[in-house]
Amino acid sequence: MIGLKIGGVPEHFNLPWRMAIEEGRFRDSGIQLHWSDMGGGTGQMIRGLESGSIDIAVLLTEGITKAILQGLDAKIIGIYVTTPLHWGIHVPQESDIQREEDLKDQTFAISKFGSGSQLMAYVMADQQGWDTKSLKFNVIGDVYGGLWALENNEAQAFLWEKYTTHPYVEQDKCRYVGEVVTPWPCFAIAVRNEIFEKYPDELNQLFEIVAQKAKMLKENENAADIISWRYNLRHDQVSKWLNETDWNYNAIEYPLAFEKAVSYLLMLDLLTEEEAKDWRSKLF
């Protein structure tokens, strides 16, 4: 039996991991997997991989791509969620901001530097034709910090997965004014290099187990009931989310996803040409 520590956001995307752990699927295969909720998102998980507090992370494709190419000692073992992420653009409830265009020169709340909430602010700015070098950020830790920053005018915008934040929109804690969709599959699985080299067969097995569990969840006619109950989300919202979400059911490779992410990071000046050189050999 080998023991491994894994981190991921405490959100509905990761239910296949939680269910497989609860059902003993990994343990039956000789893997004792300990899950840690990472409310700070991709930035927190990158720090966890750096410090060794976690061995494996389920994190945003663009975030882990950037981190590894800038020196993080880790490898990507595959794409976890094959569909894009829908980032809601949230603003203070009482603000005059009505559209994305109104956010030019405003401050964005982000969970951590290098997190998806920061990187997608760059994507949004690029789509709007703004100078991405002029973006301003306030680091707030997690979704609750983001809501606090909006309420206290410490930031004028906050990007987060729209179904996770929908309850807060309904509670008038923030206002939804649009969304940004990632131009690639949204979640990848990354592993510290030491673990990658030591347990290749076990990692392949782990990937196959979670892929199988995700397939079972997707095909379960009660999936929306299960997810809405466990994550306190509205049933109709979960049904919409399920319709637009697919996991990597067959644990296949998606090299084009990373090629797109690298190209975009280069275009936004978030990677240098030197860092992006030979990116395939560095990532996998």
Residue among 99, 108, 124, 116 nearest 157 (CA) = 108
Q: In the CATH hierarchy, which top-level class contains the domain 2-84+184-283? A: alpha beta
Q: Does the fold of domain 86-181 match that of domain 2-84+184-283?
A: yes
Answer CATH for 86-181 from 3.40.50.880, 3.30.360.10, 3.40.190.10, 3.90.1150.10: 3.40.190.10
**Above 90 in pLDDT, residue 268?**
no
In angstroms, rounded to a whole number, what is the distance separating the alpha carbons of residues 120 and 268? Answer: 11
Segments making up each domain of the chain, as ranges = 2-84+184-283, 86-181
**Above 90 in pLDDT, residue 259?**
yes
| pLDDT value for 114 | 82
Q: What's the pLDDT tens digit per position in 70-103?
A: 999 999 999 999 999 999 999 999 999 999 999 9
Q: Are 147 and 174 in contact (CB under 8 A)?
A: yes
Q: What's the pLDDT tens digit per position in 30-68?
A: 999 999 999 989 999 999 999 999 999 999 999 999 999
Which residues contact residue 221 at a Cβ distance below 8 angstroms, ignoring those fewer than 6 apart?
none
| pLDDT value for 129 | 94
181: β partners: 86
What does DSSP assign to residue 80? E
